Amino acid sequence: MGFRMGIVGLPNVGKSTLFNALTKTAAAQAANFPFCTIEPNVGEVNVPDRRLDALAEIAGSKQIIPARMTFVDIAGLVKGASQGEGLGNQFLANIRETDAIAHVLRCFEDGDITHVDGRVDPVADAEVIETELMLSDLESIEKRRANLVRKLKGNDKEAQQQDRLLAAAQAALEDGKPARVVEVDAEDLKAWKGLQLLTTKPVLYVCNVNEEDAAAGNQFSRAVEEMAAAQGAGTVLISARIEEEISQLDAEEAEMFLGEMGLEEAGLDRLIRAGYDLLHLETYFTVGPKEARAWTIRQGTLAPQAAGVIHGDFEKGFIRAETIAFDDYIACKGESGAKEAGKMRAEGKAYEVKDGDVLHFLFNT
């Protein structure tokens, strides 16, 4: 399980530059982190995780297979997209297929790059995008509720649930708030997700700054951080220009360049980590002489469901999971050492997998 992050933004905010730079950076990394293009606007990258390299070295794994993440470079938005302006319909359809939205916001001044509205105001830019998504959701809700009338008259239970959830979303939207503010009960979560409303998508604001502001930000990025904090959303500080330069360097040169810029890691790493946090994702590992592999799951996933990420039969026939915490695996120099030190545990169906767990599943065929 990976996840798809849609990269959106107004024209000339650096969205496509960032997308191209991030995907090239992934290609330029060590052989463990390849990049492949699925479609012209979709890039799949492997998730950098130094823990995986450490595990593979200890186990002598012949192959390293990281977790994967997909970036979707969605067509630039313009005001009126919800009414079909620009590539409005295509833009909105592409967002529906993503797990989260990264709003790229222009947080830099440059007289050579024209802003679509003639001014630099990232908070206003974010509001334009959010407004278009909200208008699209409202239109969709009104049509869907109208189509449910006949089923509601027949006391259809599924239609009643759907209409109740649509009404809650509509109330929030008419109050000027995105549908993600609606509190949904556990028994309604599946139906709520099935509505596929655009404003239920988690949002991450990406502040695109000039090179000199990449480490500490500026007044524009700070305004975005205040807005995001009020919404309970996340922010990432990135300079698309720096990412573009890094994409042309090998791993050693890139590390030196980042150090000179006062940065500890590339924007790709920060963006992926922020995306994981946004979607409450975590990683577990399977390790052996053949391969060391990272698997992505949602926080709180139980052992049988974690096994099912590898193969459905693992979940159906689950018996137990032999579990070693990452730190114990490293400290004990592998599985044998962890066993001898009593650090390997046998966990059952009720075990909640932890980030960094090294797992071996036993199951009935």
CB 227 within 8 A of CB 198: no
Contact between residue 330 and residue 336 where contact means Cβ atoms under 8 Å apart: no
Reported as a single tens digit per residue, the pLDDT across 52-80 is: 999 999 999 999 999 988 888 876 555 55
Q: Of 46, 29, 104, 47, which Cα lies nearest the Cα of 73?
A: 104
349 falls in which pLDDT band (50, 70, 90)?
very high
Residue-level pLDDT at 1: 53
Length of the chain equals: 365
**What is the C-alpha separation between 76 and 12, in angstroms, rounded?**
9
d(CA 228, CA 278): 12
pLDDT over 90 at 8, yes or no: no
Per-residue pLDDT tens over the stretch 296-318: 999 999 999 999 999 999 999 99
What residues have CB less than 8 Å from 57, skipping those under 6 apart? none
Q: Which CATH number fits domain 300-363: 2.160.20.60, 3.40.50.150, 3.10.20.30, 3.30.2010.10?
A: 3.10.20.30
Listed by start position, the domains of the chain span: 3-278, 300-363
Label each residue of 296-355 as H, E or C. Answer: EEECCCEHHHHHHHHCHHHHHCEEEEEEECHHHHHHCCCHHHHHHCCCCEEECCCCECCC
Q: pLDDT at position 88, please?
A: 46
Q: Is 208 helix (H, G, I), strand (E, B) or coil?
A: strand
- pLDDT the model gives residue 80: 54
CB neighbour list of residue 196: distance below 8 Å, 6 or more residues apart: 96
Contact of 91 with 85, CB cutoff 8 Å: no
**Token couple for 132:** 């278009």
- Model confidence pLDDT, tens digit, residues 122-141: 999 999 889 888 998 999 99
Per-residue pLDDT for 341 more than 90? yes
- Region 195-201 average pLDDT: 91
- The Cα-based distances of 291 to 63, 96, 288, 356 in angstroms read 5, 35, 5, 16
Of 16-30, 38-52, 294-308, which range is least confident?
16-30
Cα angle 215, 221, 225 (rounded to 5 degrees) comes to: 110
Q: Give the C-alpha separation, 263 to 244, whole Å.
A: 15
CA distance linking residue 354 with residue 34, whole number of Å: 27
Q: Is the pLDDT of residue 254 over 90?
A: no
Q: CA-CA distance, 324 to 358, in Å (whole number)?
A: 5
Residue in 195, 210, 208 with CA at minimum distance from that of residue 237:
208
C-beta separation of 49 from 21 below 8 A: no
Q: Which fold has domain 3-278?
A: Rossmann fold (3.40.50)
CA distance 198 to 136: 8
